[in-house]
Amino acid sequence: MDILNGGDTKQFTLVMSVAPDGNPILSVFNSSNTAVTSLTSVQSGTAYSYYSLYTLPTSPGIYYSEWSISVSSKAYVDRALFEIILIDSDQTGLYSNPNDIRAIYPKIDTTDLTNRQLNQYISDVDNVINMRLSARYTVPFSSTPPAIGYLSKNLALLEILERPSVKAGGDTPGWILDRKEHFDKLITGLESGSYSLVTNSGDVIGAKSDTIIWSSHENYHPVFTLLDAEEQQIDTDYIDELRDEIDDDAA
C-alpha cells in the first residue's frame, strides 16, 4: 500500500494492452466508500496509457483509487489502496513522524500498522520525553530539537519492535533492552544538565530559570554524614551503581 502525503499532487497512471472504448475514469473513495473525486483521464504519448493528476486529500486515513474501464462494451475496474498522512511532524504536534521511522527501519510496513497507530506510539514516547525533561525545559518544544527527534523516532520504533514479546507474554529481547538503556542514559544526561540541547543551527537551548539542582545519586544515603566514623554506612545500592558504571566504561 502506497503512503502519500496529504495535499500533494499525484499522477495516477493506467497502462492497458488494448484500446478502451473511451478514456478511463479515475475515482477516489475514502474508508467509508464515499467518492471524494471522479476524473476523466488523459491519454499520454504512449499507446493505451492514461493518467489523471489529482491533489490528494488533507485528511489522514485509508483511501482507494478506482479506474473504471470499458473494453468492447464490457466494464472493468482496477482498485488500489493508499494511505494519506501528514509528513510534516509539526502538523501532528509530534517530535517525529511515521516516515522518520520508515527511514531507519523500512521493514516497519510489514507490521501492517497504520500511520495513525504509528503516530500513537510516537505520541506515547513523546509524552515520556516531555515528562522527563519538564523540570529542566519548557515542554512541549515548539520546534523539535534534533536530539529530541532522534529520541522520539528511535524510542517509538523500540516500543513497536517490543510489541510481539509483550503480546506473547515473553521476555523482551536483550538487544532491545540495551538500546532502551542507551537512550535512557541520554535522557538522564539532558535531565541532569550533563548534556545540552541544541537547535539545528547548533545554538544551545537554555534551561528554565527555575531549574533545580539535580543529581543521579540524590536518592542514595550520603557516603559521609555528620555521624562518627564508626557509625558511617554506605548505601549498597550506590556501590552497585558505581560498579555498573565501571563495567559500562570497560565495555
Can you list the residues of the chain whose pLDDT is less than 70?
Answer: 87-92, 166-167, 210-235, 238, 242, 248-251
The residues, any chain, with a CB within 8 Å of residue 198's CB and separated by 6 or more, are: 145, 146, 147, 204, 205
Which residue(s) pair with 223 in the sheet? none
Distance CA 250, CA 58 (A): 52
- Copy the grid coordinates of residue 20: 478502451
Distance CA 96, CA 228 (A): 54
49-55 β-sheet, strand order? 9-15, 49-55, 42-43
Q: Assess contact for 62 and 114: CB atoms under 8 A.
A: yes
Task: Give the residue carrying C-alpha cell 564508626.
Answer: 230
For residue 89, the model assigns a pLDDT of 47
Q: Which of 136, 142, 2, 155 is nearest to 80 (CA)?
A: 2
- The identity of residue 204, as a single letter, is V
Predicted TM-score (pTM) of the model is 0.55
